[in-house]
């Protein structure tokens, strides 16, 4: 059974322990400057967004049930695991960045400043989860705002909280059905759009991207042929020039 995270924004106190735990787990830098960054980046996989009235929302990879980034990757660098995580294999990545364009949440980020760059994103602490542990962010959370468990159990818990809350939550579990469902589920007392989360349909998106990706081999073949032609013309010009110079001598 796939695992999941339930983030309850009403329990979040913006202590940023989830950010620190994530940074430590992934060997990322974390100081006052990084903690002040309110965006996902190649060196920050999660952050706490803030709205007036002490309203908070944790943003990170949603780990879609049927991930568009996985379907868009032509070399299999991104994979959906049985635990629910969407993982990344840098050794396979060719830097095409199709995953960045495909993700409806804008999560994968490129290491633009590195000589040998890769794509970076949360991988849901896949090694920890495979070893029977919870994610680092859930372990670090002191209030239970980030809770790790079985997806079905967390959905049941989320519905129970909404049902028994007497209006403390909006009646929406973000991630239950968006783009076919996600591994990260979220509850909030205010609309998710206020935190920049997109309004999305229930259809999984790989069917749409697949129609585009299947034409990539044809485009690549034409591109290589074109480049080969340019090389031949340029090389031929050099050969002719060298021959003419030799004749003049």
- pLDDT tens track for 180-200: 999 999 999 999 999 999 999
Please report the pLDDT score of residue 210 as a whole number.
53
Please report the pLDDT score of residue 221 as a whole number.
46
- pTM for this predicted structure: 0.82
pLDDT one-digit tens code per residue, 218-236: 544 444 455 455 444 455 4
204 Cβ contact list (under 8 Å, min separation 6): 64, 65, 66, 68, 179, 180
pLDDT reading at 40 higher than 80: yes
Neighbours of 161 (CB within 10 A): 17
pLDDT reading at 104 higher than 70: yes
Please report the pLDDT score of residue 204 as a whole number.
86
CA-based R_g, the chain, Å: 23
């Amino acid at each position: 059974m796939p695992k999941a995270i339930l983030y309850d924004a009403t329990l979040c106190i913006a202590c940023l322990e989830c950010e620190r735990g994530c940074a430590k787990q992934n060997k990322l830098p974390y100081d006052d400057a990084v903690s002040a960054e309110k965006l996902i980046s190649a060196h920050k996989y999660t952050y706490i967004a803030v709205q007036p009235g002490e309203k908070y929302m944790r943003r990170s990879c949603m780990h879609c049930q049927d991930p568009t980034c996985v379907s868009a990757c032509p070399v299999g660098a991104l994979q959906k695991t049985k635990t629910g995580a969407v993982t990344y294999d840098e050794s396979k990545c060719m830097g095409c960045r199709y995953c960045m364009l495909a993700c409806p949440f804008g999560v994968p980020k490129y290491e633009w400043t590195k000589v040998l760059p890769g794509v970076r994103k949360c991988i849901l602490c896949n090694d920890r989860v495979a070893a029977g542990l919870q994610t680092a962010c859930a372990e670090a959370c002191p209030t239970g705002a980030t809770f790790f468990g079985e997806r079905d159990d967390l959905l049941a818990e989320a519905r129970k909280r909404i049902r028994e809350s007497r209006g403390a939550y909006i009646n929406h579990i973000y991630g239950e059905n968006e783009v076919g469902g996600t591994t990260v589920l979220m509850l909030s007392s205010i609309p998710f759009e206020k935190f920049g989360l997109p309004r999305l349909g229930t259809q999984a998106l790989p069917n749409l991207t697949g129609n585009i990706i299947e034409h990539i081999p044809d485009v690549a073949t034409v591109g290589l042929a074109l480049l080969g032609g340019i090389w031949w013309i340029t090389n031929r010009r050099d050969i002719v020039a060298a021959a003419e110079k030799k004749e003049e001598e």
